[in-house]
A and B are shown apart, each in its own frame.
Chain A
């Protein structure tokens, strides 16, 4: 298990370095950063002054090294637009996004896994069809539309929940449902397919031959084996939610990191964009790493050679 963990950790570090290099190069791919900062009407000497001030005249690798060492210390420079340290700017927004992500993936898992198991236990019955219907709905409905429907019903008509803002827990209910429902169908169908496959396995028959109850067969013997690919999928979904909840954050005016990314891209605020790309990628890397560990724990064939 230790060797496995170290191997995966090494891989994660390698991917992180590659991603950091890419996100740093972004600065130079979008043209001359000095003129971007100076603005359209700046004189050539102003641009030169800015270039010297930010150190854009130094060799690329030196700048990258600088940026990376600062980033490791949590210093991503100044935001061009917000005129404040990027790290402070992000820290605030990130806590909202992370909370939303955790709620979203929990909602997705808590609905998708039981529904998938139930569907697999009674294939082609009403339960199965209902589960399929729910999942197809989730896939067919665009998040922004579903979000608006919820706002119309629960905020405007019933006046139960606030339509926007991020002041209290009530603000997170609808965004959680919208975000979670988006991730739910894939998890549900993977759980169902995995369970159906596993339920046909010989060791399930062995468990029944021992006299195990149906619940024990389902949850102890089947689900443990069926859930391995689900963990990997959930990790990717989680990374996606933390980086890509732009739509949901916009509808509900939750000013999180996704919303910030959209703002920064629109305003050419490169240090913020760089930092966000690095952080979003880090989320993916960390979740993939964690899901690898979880799978190794679930499936001894991965961890014990």
Chain B
């Protein structure tokens, strides 16, 4: 079972704009095995959602996707007809979005929408779809599941709607699930519950999972692998162990430094703030995109930056081989 379920190599996404082309995602890649969890972290605008949508084949039509390899379960996603992609989507690969309040159709009941997810891919009757819906609503922790089926989205809270979205994504027992910041729009108290639920279901159903999140505490707890994105690139990736214990890239170090630590972080200290501005991604890109904010930048950072990696697969892009800050990063509580 060492064959990857998902293989992404040199993925680029270009967005044609009035002033030129925006290179929103540039040459990123990762492999994911069955049952593995990859967490993608990085500040907003770094291309995490575009990457997720590109895998699902859901990018807006005007965006251009290219890759040297984009395979799901050995299926070349770049050469699938629309109809073949539809057969995969919602069936073998599913996605959960950031906006639970608006991601359900206001005109149909929860039951209709759950059943649809099943019936689109299974030639069975409604009764079976309904039974599956009830079972999954129970699984995602919704009580009185039976009676929820006739409710409409606007009658449910944000947390419940996201649970429904999770249940919907799981209707066909997908092999890959992509959750794009599934809790960002929710109350802090509910965030933890939903993430724990996702992690449990992932393990129980042995799915591969890509979780996009800002919560490094969650990453530390559930990630097998971590990819750190900055301005459209994966600047560092590796196992969760490697990333947290030996972060190599200055941006990763910055992120890890920003985690609040009980007793150490002063009240009011801003979270996740690394000073400086993100460069424009429009037009030709050269050198390290992080150099406008990097405190160990040198002149060489303006030209091609080498990709470095260890034998274990820990990889990063920086002119510095190793800054020697071993063990500086810490695993957040």
Q: Spell out A's residues near B (CB within 8 Å).
A: 201-203, 205-214, 221, 224-225, 298-301, 304
Contact = CB atoms under 8 A, between A and B. Distances in A.
Contacts of B120: 210-212
Contact of B56 (A202, A209, A300): A209
B155 A304 contact: yes
B117 A210 contact: yes
The 7 closest A-B pairs by CB, nearest first: A211-B90, A210-B90, A202-B102, A211-B89, A203-B105, A300-B152, A211-B86
Contact of B103 (A206, A211, A214): A206
A301 B88 CA distance: 32
Nearest to A223: B107
A224 B95 CA distance: 24
B51 to A, nearest CB: 15
Contacts of B105: 203, 206-207, 221, 225
B103 A203 contact: yes
Given A208-B89, A211-B89, A213-B86, A299 B103 contact: no
B220 interface: no
Nearest to A203: B105
B58 A211 contact: no
Nearest to B56: A209
B88 to A, nearest CB: 7
Nearest to A200: B60
B121 A211 contact: yes
Nearest to B53: A205
A212 B56 CA distance: 13
Contacts of B86: 211-213
Contact of A209 (B82, B90, B102): B90
Contacts of A304: 152, 154-155
Contact of B107 (A210, A213, A225): A225
Contacts of A207: 105
Given A202-B103, A206-B104, A211 B87 contact: yes
B154 A301 contact: yes
A202 B153 CA distance: 13
A169 to B, nearest CB: 37
B168 interface: yes
Interface in B101-121: 102-107, 109, 116-117, 120-121
B99 interface: yes
B89 A205 contact: no
B91 interface: yes
Nearest to A204: B105
B107 A205 contact: no
Contacts of B154: 300-301, 304
A300 to B, nearest CB: 4
B186 to A, nearest CB: 15
A278 to B, nearest CB: 37
